């Protein structure tokens, strides 16, 4: 490690003569990551060190999660062998927990892209340390969403029939079905997300390559593709990230919209709705942002990233979550009021079910978790800056959003236009597979966090280079920081 | 005449920019100078000309490619392999827009990524001048110059504050490098595709055991499924198979005739008339009039054929399968028989 610390003017902390101003500067530094620069080699250490730590907690967690995933694999095997009948899916509820999980995980998968892409193009500064953690969540949430669809397939081994290729049966995909739109949308989104994460990771993989030895060094040498950080590489990297951001945002919006159309295109009471698209997009972002808050809180403590993930980041995410609370409540109400006013008989039954039927506890818990709790608490900066409180609120939002999907899919589906075939869905193997799907996401994240830097060091360094304080009157104010 | 590469390391951007100026003064062309950093410094910071990028046109080409691929799937293949789906257009508008959008976006993303790799020559095979400290905040200035100029360049770099210097023989890139790269990237794309196609075309087939037939859902509201008769061939909808009635006929007893008469008046008389003469109240409204059930033509049909007409409908006549159970249909058949003049 270099010792010429004084020779790095960019990352040197200015020494202020005035005692009051020095105090102010110290205060601002404690608050803002970008005003609290570290020398790059220290930053690299902070980013890389958590990757080597495999404590006892890590292994206990790893084995437990792996066991849960294996349990799911067995349940899935049983399902493939015995057929989907053992899931409890039947008429009228043909879509159960698997589709709930799909919609839920696709929603979680939105946050990564949105935080990374949208906040990047809008040059929101507090995104920097969060973006990678959010993108990684997107990867595993999308994998879980895709797996959930596969779990729902009766003849899994024929899944590739959906893909367009010149097959022996001379059949090409017929795009009349929303499920085919879904396949194409998810395929596009998964491809885009993987490449997007990789692009952002590239300079950090190169960093990891330069500061590791042994098998890790060899792995990162291959994955870094020979990154050296030349001007041309950076210029192309920046442009490609920009293109990706602008392309992936509409793709992201399109994915959930199409997922919602899987429902809205059916003439099923409770599903057929013209605002399902934006309503699902909002719900997806809402659940996703809350999930990122949970991940941030966990990795901050579990991986000792307190330097990177500060209260200001939770504050920013809290404001974001509050805005999404309003948007979600607005859409939910809009989706509710029109059928309520129409007074269609089946919708009346469904609404009665929510208000005072067997689904009432779920419905009221959803309203509490998704509307009342966040809207009542997130106003306060003290709440937003308190990490345990944010964690609790975010977990409630997750519960609420999961319930919302549950109420929409298997509950509404039990009440179609033919009252003689009404029924209630009791999940069976779906429960095991749902637990396994959650375990899979956490396990994937856990493993990812030991192989790849969860904090984008280059982005933070970029932000810190232009960090600065400007004196206005008696106070020091932080200036904005963006190289491009 | 060999080339030398000189790599100097600096602590920050100002001295790096100064160095570039000094190298220019020495007559080193801009193309021969490469600046490496761990952070995306802009060309303005370094006093360099902006990098000439071709990524946006490449992305646009990808978009066009995706657009055309989507049109191939949504417009061309349905015309080549026509599958009529009940009254729906061969190329439905809005779904086509969705698919075209998705493929255009996918094409853009893939082309952007591929273009990035191609333009900056990734994955880079072979040795390049580099120093690990570049990802530690240092900035590297690499100049590839003629042997005769190397010492001057070295002195210039030292003068502007390079704290470390590396001089090496610069070996020109060997010929097959691009090919190696393409082979590497192509291999990653081709190998999974080939394996997938081997399965898709059943070259590789895994016989998996499966008990789907015995799953619980089958008992929900249906009995054990009967085997198809030997003559069975897959056709559109049900057909009458000789000597195999769709369900057992009901003998034409007084009870059956009475039930048949009542059901006939409810379900049939509005078109065929109470006496079956084809002159019901609605008969005037159809382009082709309802059949005269008393006629020779109708009465010459077998019971099973009349049953099938009731089950499936005929011409403008709708199927009665939802209105009448099989037993009720046989009652109606018996009633129709009793209308014979």
A30 within a domain of the structure (yes/no): no
What pLDDT does residue A3 have? 47
Of A172, A240, A461, the CB nearest to B116: A240
pLDDT at A1 over 50: no
pLDDT at A11 over 90: no
Is this prediction's ipTM beyond 0.95? no
Q: How close is the nearest chain A Cα to the Cα of B103, in Å? A: 7
Of A39, A167, A251, the CB nearest to B105: A251
Q: Give the domain ranges of chain B.
A: 1-173, 254-338
Residue A210 to residue B134, Cβ atoms within 8 A: yes
Of A80, A176, A239, the CB nearest to B53: A239
Residues of chain B positioned with their CB less than 8 A from the CB of A89: 217
pLDDT at A46 over 60: yes
Confidence of residue B243 (pLDDT cuts 50, 70, 90): low
Q: Which helix (H) or strand (E) holds B141?
A: strand B139-146
The CATH number for A228's domain is: 1.20.1630.10
Range of the domain at A364: 38-161+174-466
Whether omega before A92 lies within 30 degrees of 0, making that bond cis, reads: yes
Whether omega before B123 lies within 30 degrees of 0, making that bond cis, reads: yes
To test the contact with chain A by mutation, choose from B107, B112, B198 the residue with the greatest count of A C-beta atoms within 10 A, namely B112
Confidence of residue B75 (pLDDT cuts 50, 70, 90): very high
Rounded Cα distance between B20 and B28, Å, is: 9
Residues of chain A positioned with their CB less than 8 A from the CB of B98: 175, 181, 184-185, 254, 258
Residues of chain B positioned with their CB less than 8 A from the CB of A91: 220-221
Of B105, B117, B196, the CB nearest to A250: B105
Residues of chain A positioned with their CB less than 8 A from the CB of B93: none
What pLDDT does residue B171 have? 65
DSSP three-state, residue B339: coil
Residues 6+ apart with CB under 8 A from B300: none
How many domains, in total, are found in chain A? 1
Residue B208 to residue A258, Cβ atoms within 8 A: no
Lookup result for tokens 């951001």: A245
CATH number of B254-338: 1.10.760.10
> Quick check: B261 and B272 in contact, CB under 8 A?
no
Average pLDDT over residues B10-28: 86
> Quick check: B291 and B278 in contact, CB under 8 A?
yes
B265-282 per-residue burial string, b: 16 or more CB within 10 A, e: under 16:
eebbbebbbeebbbebee
Closest CA to A100 of A274, A310, A259: A259
Rounded Cα distance between A177 and A392, Å, is: 40
Residues of chain A positioned with their CB less than 8 A from the CB of B215: 82-86
> Quick check: A336 and A86 in contact, CB under 8 A?
no
To test the contact with chain A by mutation, choose from B90, B115, B135, B184 the residue with the greatest count of A C-beta atoms within 10 A, namely B135
- The 3-class SS string of chain A reads CCCCHHHCCCCCCCCCCCHHHHHHHHHHHHHCHHHCCCCHHHHHHHHHHHHHCCCHHHHHHHHHHHHHHHHHHHHHHHHHHHCHHHHCCCCCCCCCHHHHHHHHHHHHHHHHHHHHHHHHHCCCHHHCCCHHHHHHHHHHHHHHHHHHHHHCCCCHHHHHHHCCCCCCCCCCCCCCCHHHHHHHHHHHHHHHHHHHHHHHHHHHHHHHHHCCCHHHHHHHHHHCCCCCCEHHHHHHHHHHHHHHHHHHHHHHHHHHHHHHHHHHCCCCCCCCCCCHHHHHHHHHHHHHHHHHHHHHHHHHHHCCCCCCCCHHHHHHHHHHHHHHHHHHHHHHHHHHHHHHHHCCHHHHHHHHHHHHCCCHHHHHHHHHHHHHHHHHHCCCHHHHHCHHHHHHHHHHHHHHHHHHHHHHHHHHHCCCCCHHHCCCCCCCHHHHHHHHHHHHHHHHHHHHHHHCCCCCHHHHHHHHHCCCEEEECCEEEECCCCCC
Residue B72 DSSP symbol: I
List the structure tokens of A330. Answer: 């607005």
How far does CA A434 lie from the centroid of its chain? Answer: 17
Q: How close is the nearest chain A Cα to the Cα of B314, in Å? A: 27
Q: How far is CA B242 from CA A95, B299, B330, in A?
A: 41, 19, 17
A273 within a domain of the structure (yes/no): yes
pLDDT at A141 over 90: yes
Confidence of residue B308 (pLDDT cuts 50, 70, 90): confident
List the structure tokens of A26. Answer: 């110290």
Q: How far is CA A393 from CA A291, A310, A373, B12, in A?
A: 10, 18, 7, 44
- Alpha helix stretches (DSSP H) within chain B: 13-25, 43-46, 55-71, 77-80, 93-119, 147-159, 177-200, 254-267, 269-272, 296-299, 303-312, 326-338
pLDDT by residue (tens digit) across A217-249?
889 988 988 888 888 889 999 999 999 999 999
Residues of chain B positioned with their CB less than 8 A from the CB of A154: 212
Top-ranked range on mean pLDDT: pick from A204-213, A347-356, B62-71, B277-286: B62-71
Q: Is the pTM of this model over 0.90?
A: no
Rounded Cα distance between B18 and B1, Å, is: 29
pLDDT at B219 over 70: no
List the structure tokens of A51. Answer: 């990757």
Neighbours of A13 (CB within 10 A): 13
Residue B140 bridge partners (DSSP): B9, B36
A322 within a domain of the structure (yes/no): yes
Residue B12 to residue A9, Cβ atoms within 8 A: yes
What pLDDT does residue A330 have? 95
Rounded Cα distance between A195 and A241, Å, is: 10
Residue B119 to residue A483, Cβ atoms within 8 A: no
Residue A234 to residue B40, Cβ atoms within 8 A: yes
What pLDDT does residue A19 have? 83
B95-110 per-residue burial string, b: 16 or more CB within 10 A, e: under 16:
bbebbbbbbbbbbbbb
Residue B282 DSSP symbol: T
Residue B244 DSSP symbol: B
Residues 6+ apart with CB under 8 A from B53: A235, A236, A239, B119
Average pLDDT over residues B140-147: 86
Average pLDDT over residues A312-320: 91
DSSP three-state, residue B47: coil
To test the contact with chain B by mutation, choose from A38, A169, A175 the residue with the greatest count of B C-beta atoms within 10 A, namely A175
A349 within a domain of the structure (yes/no): yes
**Long-range contacts at B204-208 (CB < 8 A, ≥ 24 apart):** B206/A157, B208/A80, B208/A157
Average pLDDT over residues A2-26: 70
Of A82, A154, A225, the CB nearest to B122: A225
Residue B40 to residue A484, Cβ atoms within 8 A: yes
A9: exposed, middle or buried (Cβ count in 10 Å: 0-12, 13-18, 19+): exposed
Residue B86, CB-side half-sphere exposure with 13 Å CA sphere: 1
Residues of chain A positioned with their CB less than 8 A from the CB of B55: 236, 239-240, 243
DSSP three-state, residue B182: helix
Residue B141 has phi, psi (to 5 degrees) of: -115, 120
What pLDDT does residue A191 have? 92
List the structure tokens of A409. Answer: 């899919």
Average pLDDT over residues B263-281: 90
> Quick check: B135 and B191 in contact, CB under 8 A?
no
Residue B73 to residue A172, Cβ atoms within 8 A: yes
> Quick check: B282 and B268 in contact, CB under 8 A?
no
Neighbours of B84 (CB within 10 A): 8
Confidence of residue B90 (pLDDT cuts 50, 70, 90): confident
Residues of chain A positioned with their CB less than 8 A from the CB of B112: 240, 243-244, 247
Residue B164 DSSP symbol: E
To test the contact with chain B by mutation, choose from A230, A246, A421, A463 the residue with the greatest count of B C-beta atoms within 10 A, namely A230
Rounded Cα distance between A159 and B87, Å, is: 27
pLDDT at A163 over 60: yes
């Amino acid at each position: 490690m270099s010792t010429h610390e004084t020779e790095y003017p960019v990352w040197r902390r200015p020494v202020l003569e005035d005692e009051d101003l020095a105090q102010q500067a110290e205060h601002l530094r404690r608050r803002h990551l970008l005003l609290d620069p570290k020398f790059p080699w220290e930053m690299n250490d902070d980013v890389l060190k958590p990757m080597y730590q495999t404590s006892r907690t890590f292994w206990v967690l790893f084995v437990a999660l792996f066991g849960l995933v294996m349990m799911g694999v067995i349940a899935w095997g049983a399902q493939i062998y015995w057929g989907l009948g053992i899931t409890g899916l039947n008429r009228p509820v043909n879509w159960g927990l698997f589709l709930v999980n799909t919609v839920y995980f696709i929603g979680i998968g939105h946050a990564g892209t949105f935080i990374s892409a949208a906040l990047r193009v809008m040059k929101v500064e507090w995104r920097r340390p969060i973006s990678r953690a959010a993108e990684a969540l997107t990867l595993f949430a999308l994998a879980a969403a895709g797996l959930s669809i596969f779990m729902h397939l009766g003849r899994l081994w024929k899944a590739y029939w959906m893909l367009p290729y010149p097959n022996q049966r001379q059949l090409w995909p017929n795009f009349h079905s929303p499920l085919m739109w879904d396949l194409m949308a998810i395929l596009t989104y998964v491809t885009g997300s993987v490449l997007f994460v990789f692009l952002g990771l590239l300079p950090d993989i190169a960093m990891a390559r330069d500061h590791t030895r042994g098998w890790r060094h060899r792995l990162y040498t291959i994955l870094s593709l020979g990154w050296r950080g030349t001007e041309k590489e950076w210029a192309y990297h920046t442009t490609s990230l920009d293109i990706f951001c602008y392309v992936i945002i509409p793709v992201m919006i399109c994915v959930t919209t199409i997922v919602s159309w899987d429902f809205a295109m059916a003439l099923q009471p409770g599903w057929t709705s013209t605002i399902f698209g934006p309503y699902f997009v909002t719900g997806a972002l809402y659940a996703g942002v809350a999930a990122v808050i949970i991940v941030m809180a966990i990795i901050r403590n579990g991986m000792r990233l307190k330097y990177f993930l500060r209260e200001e980041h939770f504050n920013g995410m809290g404001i974001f979550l509050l805005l999404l609370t309003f948007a979600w409540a607005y859409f939910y109400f809009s989706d509710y009021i029109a059928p309520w006013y129409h007074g269609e008989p089946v919708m009346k039954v469904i609404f009665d079910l929510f208000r005072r039927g067997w689904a009432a506890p779920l419905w009221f818990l959803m309203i509490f978790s998704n509307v009342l709790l966040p809207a009542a608490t997130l106003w306060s900066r003290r709440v937003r800056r308190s990490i345990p409180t944010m964690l609790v609120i975010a977990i409630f939002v997750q519960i609420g959003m999961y319930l919302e999907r549950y109420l929409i899919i298997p509950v509404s589906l039990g009440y179609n236009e033919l009252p003689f075939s009404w029924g209630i869905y009791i999940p069976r193997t779906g429960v095991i597979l749902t637990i396994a799907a959650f375990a899979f996401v956490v396990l994937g994240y856990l493993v990812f966090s030991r192989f790849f830097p969860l904090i984008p060091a280059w982005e933070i360094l970029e932000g810190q280079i232009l960090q600065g304080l400007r004196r206005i009157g008696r106070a020091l104010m932080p200036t904005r920081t963006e190289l491009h | 005449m060999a080339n030398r590469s000189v790599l100097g390391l600096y602590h920050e951007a100002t001295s790096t920019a100064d160095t570039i100026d000094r190298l220019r003064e020495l007559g080193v062309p801009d193309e021969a100078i490469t600046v490496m950093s761990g952070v995306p410094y802009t060309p303005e910071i370094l006093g360099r000309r902006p990098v000439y990028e071709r990524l946006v046109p490449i992305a646009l080409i990808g978009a066009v490619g995706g657009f055309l691929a989507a049109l191939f799937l949504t417009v061309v293949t349905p015309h080549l392999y026509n599958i009529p789906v009940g009254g729906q257009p061969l190329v439905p508008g809005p779904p086509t827009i969705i698919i075209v959008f998705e493929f255009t976006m996918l094409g853009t993303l893939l082309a952007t990524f591929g273009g990035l790799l191609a333009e900056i020559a990734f994955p880079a095979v072979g040795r390049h001048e580099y120093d690990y400290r570049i990802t530690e905040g240092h900035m590297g200035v690499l100049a590839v110059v003629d042997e005769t100029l190397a010492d001057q360049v070295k002195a210039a770099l030292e003068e502007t504050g390079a704290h470390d210097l590396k001089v090496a023989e610069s070996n020109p890139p060997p010929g097959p490098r691009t090919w190696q790269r393409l082979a590497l990237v192509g291999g990653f794309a081709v190998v999974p595709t080939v394996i997938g196609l081997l399965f898709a075309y059943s070259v590789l087939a895994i016989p998996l055991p499966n008990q789907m037939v015995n799953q619980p859902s089958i008992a929900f509201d249906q009995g054990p499924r009967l085997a198809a008769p030997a003559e069975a061939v897959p056709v559109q909808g049900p057909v009458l198979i000789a000597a195999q009635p769709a369900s057992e006929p009901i003998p034409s007893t007084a009870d059956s005739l009475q039930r048949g008469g009542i059901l006939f008046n409810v379900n049939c008389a509005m078109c065929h008339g109470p006496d079956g003469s084809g002159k019901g109240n609605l008969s005037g409204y159809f382009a082709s009039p309802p059949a005269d059930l008393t006629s020779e033509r109708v009465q010459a049909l077998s019971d099973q054929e009349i049953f099938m007409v009731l089950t499936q409908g005929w011409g403008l006549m709708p199927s009665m399968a939802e209105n009448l159970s099989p037993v009720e249909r046989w009652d109606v058949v018996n009633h129709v028989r009793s209308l014979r003049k």
